[in-house]
Amino acid sequence: MKKIVSLAVVSALVAGCMTSDNGNDITYGYDGFNEEQLVASDNLNQNAYLMAAAPKYYIGSPYKIEDVQYIPSADMTYNQTGIAGIIPVELNGSKTSDGEIFDSNQMVATSKTLPLPSIVRVTNLDNGNAVTVRVNNRGPFVNTRIMDLSAAAARQIGINSTAKVQVQILQDESIAVKNATLGEITKTEPTVQETTVAPVQAAPVATSGEYSIQVAAVYSEDNAIALAKELSSYGHSVVVNEADMYKVRIIDLDAANARRIIDALRNDKGMAPGLLQSGKWINADSI
C-alpha cells in the first residue's frame, strides 16, 4: 500500500491549509480518487514524465481562501508573477488532485486555478533561472503565494525558501497532456509501428485480448521506439502515433496478463501505466 499522509500530519507540516465552505479541512489536493504514480524511465528524458497521461483530468469548482475567491479554469493564457514556495518533502506519497502520487524528486508544482495536469514554465525573477514543471495538485492554500514547487524543481532554479517567480502556461504542451489524459484521438486512424526486437526473456502473454496497457505518451518518436523495445519482454509492445504524440502500449492482453504486467511495471520500473479495454480508458486497478 502506498502511504497517504494523514490530515493531522499535513496540518502540522503545511502552513498553507484552509477550510472549505462546508467546514472540511483541505490540504494539498487529495480528493479521494484512486492513486497512481508517474515516474520517468531512467533512460528517457524528463519530457516523458511531464507529458505522461494522468489518472484523471481535474479542474474543480470555485472556492475561497480567507475570503478571496478562486475560480479554476482551463486558462491557456495564464501568465502571472507572485511568490512561490516549496512543497514539504514530508508529503511524499500523498495523493494529488489529479490522482497522482506526490514525489518531491519530480518536476511538479501546485496551482490554485490551473487545470490538472498542465505544463508551465516557472522563472525565478531573482536570478533568471527557469524550469518546466507539471502542475498536478491544488494549492498552496494561502493567499501570499501563487505556487509551490517540488524540492527538485525549486532547487533547479535556486529557491531555498520562497522567491518571486513568473509562471507561464505552455499552451501546446498543456493541451497535449490533457488529450493524453482524456485519451482523445484524432478522427483519422492511428498509425501503429510494431517493434521488431525479440523479447529479452519469455513472458506469458495472450495472443489476443481486449486490454491494452499504455506506458507513456511522448513527442519523441525515437524515445517511444526505445521504450517499446525496452518493454518488449513484457509483451507485444507497439508505438501508436496519434496526432503529434507517440504512445507506447503493450497490446492484445487478457485481464489476467494485463493485471500481471501492470503490477510488474509498477514494481520493476516505477511506472504508472494506464489501461484501455476495447480502446476505452478504464481504471488500471479495476481488473
Do 151 and 194 reside in the same domain of the chain? no
The total number of structural domains that make up the chain:
2
pLDDT at residue 220, rounded to an integer: 74
Q: Does one domain contain both 272 and 205?
A: yes
Higher pLDDT, 283 or 34: 283
pTM exceeds cut of 0.95 = no
Neighbours of 22 (CB within 10 A): 6
Report pLDDT for 242: 74
1 part of a folded domain? no
Cα separations (Å) of 118 from 10, 26, 170, 211?
Answer: 24, 21, 8, 28
- pLDDT for 115: 94
- Assess whether 269 and 209 both reside in one domain: yes
Q: Are both 52 and 163 inside the same structural domain? A: yes
Residue whose grid cell is 514530508: 90
Lowest model confidence (mean pLDDT) among 59-73, 116-130, 159-173: 59-73
Say what the pLDDT of residue 245 is.
67
144 vs 206, residue with greater confidence: 144
The 211-218 sheet, strands edge to edge = 191-194, 236-242, 245-253, 211-218, 274-277, 280-282
- The answer to whether 253 touches 209, Cβ cutoff 8 Å, is yes
Q: Give the CATH number of the domain where residue 229 resides.
A: 3.30.70.1070
Same domain for 143 and 41:
yes
Q: Is the pLDDT of residue 119 over 60?
A: yes
What confidence score (pLDDT) does residue 28 get? 57
Which of 128, 152, 177 terminates a domain? The answer is 177
Q: What is the pLDDT of residue 26?
A: 37
Please name the residues in contact with 196: beta carbons below 8 A apart, sequence gap of 6 or more. none
- Tell me if 116 is assigned to some domain: yes
Is 287 inside a domain boundary?
no
Q: Which residues pair with 65 in a beta bridge?
A: 68
Q: Percent of the chain beyond pLDDT 70?
A: 73
**CB-CB neighbours of 25 under 10 Å:** 13
Per DSSP, 117 falls in state: S
In the predicted structure, residue 23 carries a pLDDT above the cut 60: no
Strand 147-149 and strand 211-218: the pairing is unpaired
Q: What is the mean pLDDT of residues 62-67?
A: 87
SS3 229: helix
Nearest alpha-carbon partner for 145 in 164, 123, 168: 164
Separation of first and last alpha carbons in the chain: 17
**Residues 128 and 255 placed together within one structural domain of the fold:** no
In 3-state terms the chain splits into helix, strand, coil percentages (rounded to 5) of: 20, 30, 50
Q: Which three-class secondary structure state does DSSP give residue 182?
A: helix
Q: What is the pLDDT of residues 153-165, one digit of tens each?
A: 999 999 999 999 9
Q: How many alpha carbons fall within 13 Å on the CB side of residue 257?
A: 20
Residue owning grid cell 513568473:
166
Any residues with CB less than 8 A from the CB of 259 and at least 6 apart, and which? 287
Q: What pLDDT, on a 0 to 100 scale, did the predictor assign at position 186? A: 34
Cell numbers found for residue 53:
497521461
**How do strand 163-169 and strand 118-124 relate by DSSP bridges?**
antiparallel
CATH of the domain at 18: 2.40.40.10
Q: Is the pLDDT of residue 274 over 90?
A: no
pLDDT interval class at 46 (50, 70, 90):
low
> Higher-confidence residue: 66 or 123?
123
Return the higher-pLDDT residue of 259 and 5. 259
Sign of the C-alpha dihedral, residues 70, 170, 110, 4? positive
pLDDT digits 0-9 by tens, 185-212? 433 345 454 444 333 333 333 346 899 9
Q: Is the same domain home to 32 and 170?
A: yes
User: What's residue 284's pLDDT?
Assistant: 78
Extended beta strands in 108-195, E state:
108-111, 118-124, 130-138, 147-149, 163-169, 191-194
Q: Please give the residue range of the domain that contains residue 32.
A: 7-177
Q: Which residue has the higher pLDDT, 4 or 277?
A: 277
Q: Looking at residue 186, what DSSP letter applies? A: -
